[in-house]
């Protein structure tokens, strides 16, 4: 009978070990599938976001080609190339807009001009296209082209357009030539794209085989970004690598779990083989009772036995401990899965919003949702002094929240310490990443935290908030602000919630930097970088609604074309740097005179366009012009020199001076040249018969 019991026990333990091993293999396979699915989803999203970044970064090239390709003077230049005209009109365009190359072809496909931002290039040295048939291929169905090419200075992106007269903005006539602008993809450009996308970018040739996008690191995703030439043949390829947070830790924990479990199963089998040789009746009853009732107490008593059964009882007791540990691991796994879902949700929010305040507001709402807390908000600051909050978003409708010190201008004590990362070691309220967690019961913290931070907590507690968490938003070593979360219950911020909040803070910081970068790029596309005024591209956007409002209110719109007299002599004698500072000073004086509804636009060079809407009388335009001329007559202090310049202004009044944008601009230009012919430092008003003197 004893031998039979031994055999049955051995068989039972063997079956248990086998089933336990199969279950572990199944769990490990499921975890790896989850990690693979996460990587695939993150890869698709990262590729889409990177494509948007590349298009947005070089959008100004398309705008540049669009603006300068319908221009009567450029049409004349294609027919009769003039190096002096190109040096004064085309090279400044490259420098002002940040482009690196320009190429111009005539209608027959012959290259007539090529230059970089510093000098005019020899046409054989800077040949862009292999033959004139390439132009026919690119512009068969479209008037614009985009491709990449290899230049003597490296890889460059090229945007092109067909050349037409100024009157043919719709580009319906036969092209008079072809205009191309190029932007060099040098190391700073690639590093800027990598910084915006939080990725690593490598430029490789098309003959390098990198078809296998997998990485030895399971937490890194890689995808190629092909750069096509004029004939759609690949010129180069960007290899983009991005790290997915959380996957590496997830897989490492899974492997450790599998190894520990297999070691436990092997130890249990070995102990079973040694113990079946002894008498097993009484110990087996205790073991059976413990397993049947799911109660570890019987085997705890058996652990005092000095025979092998005591060891078996210890192993079974450890089995219960391991099961509890597994349950805890399951809790941790569920928390990790929840954190991944939260991260995915916040990533969707970050990709969906293009404006800062809605982005932060939805982040605050989601934080309240997944933490279950009563209050959540964000304090931001973008100034470099680290002492001011410039924006406070969130906090719902809770009374008294906006009056708390965190929303005021001065930030002292621990708030400054969290922003700067200057934290005292060994303080239990702080995490390794600088987050501060407190409850009402933290009576020993006032001396450590500082007066202001303790005052924040006390104000929260007067609003019945028991728990307070302050999470710093820090990206690439730069502090952007704080996430503040509070709740009416105690101990609402365990470690896993704090870890998730810190991950959310990092995502928010990356999203904020992306939004700031997009806002900067949008500003660069529509404004003159030297003076900060709107550029030529904004003429239609500002003049068209002004004309519509004048039509509705039976009012007038004045369009003034202003040209600085003798500005070329300043550039020739003092240099372009002094001329640029003179343009900046002149634009400030002009803007100071105008109303907030008026618009000053830099058209290029020393030429400005001023739009004055909703004038009750046409004579009001003359008063504005007189004020502008008077302001320009005052001397300018440039580089310790006193410079005197004047202006010539041509005025076209809507609707007498034209009913379309082109007519208004043309008539204002005619009036401006008439003012110059009358001795400069004056203005003229265009009429149907002629331009009247000012």
Higher pLDDT, 472 or 453: 472
Peptide bond into 348 cis (omega under 30): no
pLDDT value of residue 295: 74
Higher pLDDT, 450 or 252: 252
Concatenate the DSSP letters of all residues of 460-491 into one string.
HHHTT--EEEEEEEEETTEEEEEEEEEESSSS
Highest mean pLDDT among 14-18, 207-211, 516-520: 516-520
Give yes or no for residue 216 having a pLDDT over 70: no
- Residues 53-82, mean pLDDT to the nearest whole number: 82
> What SS3 class is residue 135?
helix
- Quick one: 174 and 253 in the same domain? no
Closest CA relative to residue 575, chosen from 529, 643, 633, 647? 643
Give yes or no for residue 73 having a pLDDT over 60: yes
Domain that holds residue 257: 2-50+247-339
| Range of weakest confidence among 296-300, 521-525, 654-658 | 296-300
Query: Mind listing the pLDDT tens digit for each residue in 414-446?
Result: 444 444 444 444 444 566 666 777 665 444 444
pLDDT value of residue 393: 67
List the beta bridge partners of residue 160.
145, 180
Task: Supply the mean pLDDT for the chain.
Answer: 75
Residue 269 lies in a domain: yes
Banded pLDDT at 154 (limits 50, 70, 90):
confident
Banded pLDDT at 400 (limits 50, 70, 90):
very low
The domain boundary, picked from 131, 166, 185, lies at 185
- Quick one: 386 and 417 in the same domain? yes
- Quick one: 562 and 676 in the same domain? yes
- Quick one: 591 and 567 in the same domain? yes
Beta pairing, strands 683-686 & 646-654: parallel
How much of the chain exceeds pLDDT 90, in percent?
Answer: 14
CB atoms within 10 A of CB 353: 18
The answer to whether the beta carbons of residues 559 and 609 sit under 8 Å apart is: yes
- Quick one: 44 and 66 in the same domain? no
Give yes or no for residue 652 having a pLDDT over 90: yes
- Quick one: 548 and 667 in the same domain? yes
- Quick one: 467 and 553 in the same domain? no
Higher pLDDT, 149 or 194: 149
The domain boundary, picked from 136, 151, 185, lies at 185
pLDDT value of residue 31: 66
pLDDT value of residue 407: 34
Give yes or no for residue 325 having a pLDDT over 90: no
Give yes or no for residue 268 having a pLDDT over 50: yes
Q: What is the b/e burial string over 454-475, where b = at least 16 CB atoms within 10 angstroms of the residue's CB?
A: bbbbebbbeeebbbbbbbbbbb
How much of the chain exceeds pLDDT 70, in percent?
Answer: 68
How many domains are there within the chain?
4
- Quick one: 325 and 367 in the same domain? no
Higher pLDDT, 199 or 121: 121
Highest mean pLDDT among 397-401, 402-406, 686-690: 686-690
Give yes or no for residue 50 having a pLDDT over 60: yes
What number of CA atoms fall less than 13 Å from residue 19's CA on the CB side?
A: 6
Task: Say how far apart CA 429 and CA 443 lie, in whole Å.
Answer: 12
CA distances from 636 to 125, 645, 646, 657 (A): 43, 8, 11, 33
pLDDT value of residue 401: 41
pLDDT value of residue 67: 83
Higher pLDDT, 589 or 195: 589
Query: Mind listing the pLDDT tens digit for each residue in 533-576?
Result: 999 888 989 999 999 999 998 899 999 999 999 888 888 888 88
- Quick one: 632 and 540 in the same domain? yes
pLDDT value of residue 497: 81
Vertex 553: Cα angle to 551 and 557 (nearest 5): 60
Give yes or no for residue 384 having a pLDDT over 90: no
pLDDT value of residue 674: 94
Question: Which residue matches tokens 């302001």?
Answer: 631
Task: Say how far apart CA 623 and CA 626 lie, in whole Å.
Answer: 5
Query: For residue 241, with 0-12 CB atoms within 10 Å meaning exposed, 13-18 middle and 19 or more buried, which class applies?
Result: middle
Token code pair at residue 131: 């033959």
Q: Max alpha carbon distance in the chain (Å)?
A: 129
- Residues 517-528, mean pLDDT to the nearest whole number: 84
Residue 229 lies in a domain: no
Banded pLDDT at 501 (limits 50, 70, 90):
confident
Residue 82 lies in a domain: yes
Which CATH number goes with the domain that contains 397?
3.30.450.40
Query: For residue 683, with 0-12 CB atoms within 10 Å meaning exposed, 13-18 middle and 19 or more buried, which class applies?
Result: buried
Beta strand ranges found along 164-245 (DSSP E): 177-184, 200-205, 220-228, 234-243
pLDDT value of residue 306: 64
The domain boundary, picked from 478, 497, 516, lies at 497
Token code pair at residue 158: 């090229």
Higher pLDDT, 691 or 146: 146
Which CATH number goes with the domain that contains 137?
3.30.450.20
- Quick one: 143 and 43 in the same domain? no
Banded pLDDT at 650 (limits 50, 70, 90):
very high
Give yes or no for residue 199 having a pLDDT over 70: no
Residue 213 lies in a domain: no
pLDDT value of residue 503: 84
Highest mean pLDDT among 49-58, 497-506, 564-573, 642-651: 642-651
Task: Say how far apart CA 352 and CA 190 lie, in whole Å.
Answer: 25
Query: Mind listing the pLDDT tens digit for each residue in 287-299?
Result: 777 777 777 777 7
Banded pLDDT at 144 (limits 50, 70, 90):
confident
Residue 391 lies in a domain: yes
pLDDT value of residue 281: 62
Which CATH number goes with the domain that contains 672?
3.30.70.270
The answer to whether the beta carbons of residues 75 and 179 sit under 8 Å apart is: no
Higher pLDDT, 308 or 86: 86
| Range of weakest confidence among 158-162, 241-245, 366-370, 606-610 | 241-245
- Quick one: 176 and 273 in the same domain? no
Q: Which residues contact 521 (CB under 8 A, 6 or more apart)?
A: 56, 57, 59, 60
Query: Mind listing the pLDDT tens digit for each residue in 126-137?
Result: 677 777 667 777
Task: Say how far apart CA 645 and CA 633 lie, in whole Å.
Answer: 6
- Quick one: 490 and 416 in the same domain? yes
Task: Say how far apart CA 472 and CA 165 lie, in whole Å.
Answer: 56
Residue 492 lies in a domain: yes
- Residues 468-492, mean pLDDT to the nearest whole number: 77
Residue 203 lies in a domain: no
Question: Which residue matches tokens 């200075």?
Answer: 153
Higher pLDDT, 82 or 55: 82
Query: Mind listing the pLDDT tens digit for each residue in 110-126?
Result: 888 888 877 777 766 66
Residue 645 lies in a domain: yes
């Amino acid at each position: 009978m004893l031998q039979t019991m031994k055999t049955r026990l051995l068989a039972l333990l063997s079956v248990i070990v086998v089933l336990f091993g199969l279950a572990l293999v199944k769990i490990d396979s499921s975890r790896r599938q989850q990690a693979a699915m996460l990587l695939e989803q993150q890869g698709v999203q990262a590729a889409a976001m990177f494509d948007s970044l590349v298009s947005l970064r070089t959008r100004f090239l398309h705008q540049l080609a669009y603006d300068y390709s319908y221009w009567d003077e450029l049409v004349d230049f294609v027919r009769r190339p003039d190096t002096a005209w190109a040096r004064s009109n085309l090279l400044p365009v490259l420098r002002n807009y940040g482009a690196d190359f320009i190429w111009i072809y005539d209608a027959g496909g012959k290259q007539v001009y090529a230059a970089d931002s510093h000098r005019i290039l020899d046409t054989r040295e800077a040949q862009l296209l292999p033959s004139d048939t390439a132009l026919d291929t690119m512009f068969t169905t479209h008037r614009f082209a985009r491709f990449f090419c290899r230049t003597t200075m490296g890889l460059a992106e090229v945007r092109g357009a067909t050349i037409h007269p100024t009157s043919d903005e719709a580009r319906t006539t036969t092209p008079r030539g072809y205009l191309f602008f190029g932007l060099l993809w040098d190391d700073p450009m690639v590093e800027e794209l990598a910084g915006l996308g939080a990725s690593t970018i490598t430029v490789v040739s098309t003959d390098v085989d990198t078809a296998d996008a997998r990485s030895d690191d399971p937490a890194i995703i890689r995808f190629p970004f092909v750069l096509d030439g004029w004939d759609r043949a690949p010129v180069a390829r960007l290899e983009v690598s991005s790290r997915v947070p959380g996957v590496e830790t997830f897989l490492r924990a899974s492997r450790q779990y599998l190894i520990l479990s297999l070691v436990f199963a092997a130890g249990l089998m070995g102990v079973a083989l040694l113990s079946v040789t002894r008498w097993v009746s009484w110990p087996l009853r205790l073991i059976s009772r413990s397993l049947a009732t799911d109660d570890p107490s019987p085997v705890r008593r058996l652990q005092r036995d000095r025979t092998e059964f005591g060891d078996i009882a210890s192993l079974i007791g450890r089995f219960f401990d391991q099961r509890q540990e597994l349950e805890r691991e399951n809790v941790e796994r569920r928390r990790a899965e929840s954190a991944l879902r939260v991260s995915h949700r916040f990533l969707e929010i970050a990709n969906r919003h293009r404006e800062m305040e809605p982005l932060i507001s939805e982040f605050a709402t989601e934080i309240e949702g997944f933490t279950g807390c009563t209050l959540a908000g964000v304090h931001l600051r973008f100034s470099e002094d680290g002492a001011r909050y410039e924006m406070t978003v969130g906090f719902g409708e809770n009374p008294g929240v906006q009056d708390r010190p965190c929303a005021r201008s001065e930030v002292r004590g621990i708030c400054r310490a969290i922003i700067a990362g200057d934290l005292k070691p060994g303080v239990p309220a702080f995490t390794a990443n600088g987050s501060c967690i407190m409850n009402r019961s933290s009576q020993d913290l006032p001396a450590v935290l500082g007066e202001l931070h303790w005052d924040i907590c006390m104000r929260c507690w007067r609003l019945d908030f028991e728990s307070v968490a302050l999470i710093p938003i820090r990206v690439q070593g730069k502090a952007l602000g704080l996430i503040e979360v509070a709740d009416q219950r105690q101990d609402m911020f365990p470690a896993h919630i704090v870890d998730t909040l810190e991950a959310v803070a990092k995502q928010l910081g990356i999203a904020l930097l992306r939004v700031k970068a997009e806002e900067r790029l949008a500003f660069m596309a529509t404004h003159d970088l030297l003076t900060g005024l709107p550029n030529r591209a904004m003429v239609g956007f500002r003049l068209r609604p002004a004309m519509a409002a004048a039509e509705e209110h039976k009012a007038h719109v004045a369009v003034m074309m202003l040209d600085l007299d003798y500005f070329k002599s300043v550039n020739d004698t003092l240099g372009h740097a002094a001329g640029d500072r003179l343009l900046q000073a002149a634009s400030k004086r002009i803007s100071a005179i105008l109303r907030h509804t008026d618009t000053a636009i830099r058209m290029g060079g020393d030429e400005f366009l001023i739009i004055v809407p909703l004038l009750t009388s046409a004579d009001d335009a003359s008063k504005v012009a007189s004020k502008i001329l008077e302001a320009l007559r005052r001397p300018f202090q440039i580089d310790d020199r006193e410079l005197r310049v004047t202006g010539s202004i041509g005025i076209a009044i809507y609707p007498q001076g034209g009913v379309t944008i082109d007519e208004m601009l043309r008539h204002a230009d005619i009036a401006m040249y008439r003012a110059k012919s009358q001795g400069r430092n004056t203005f003229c008003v265009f009429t149907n018969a002629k331009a009247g003197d000012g």
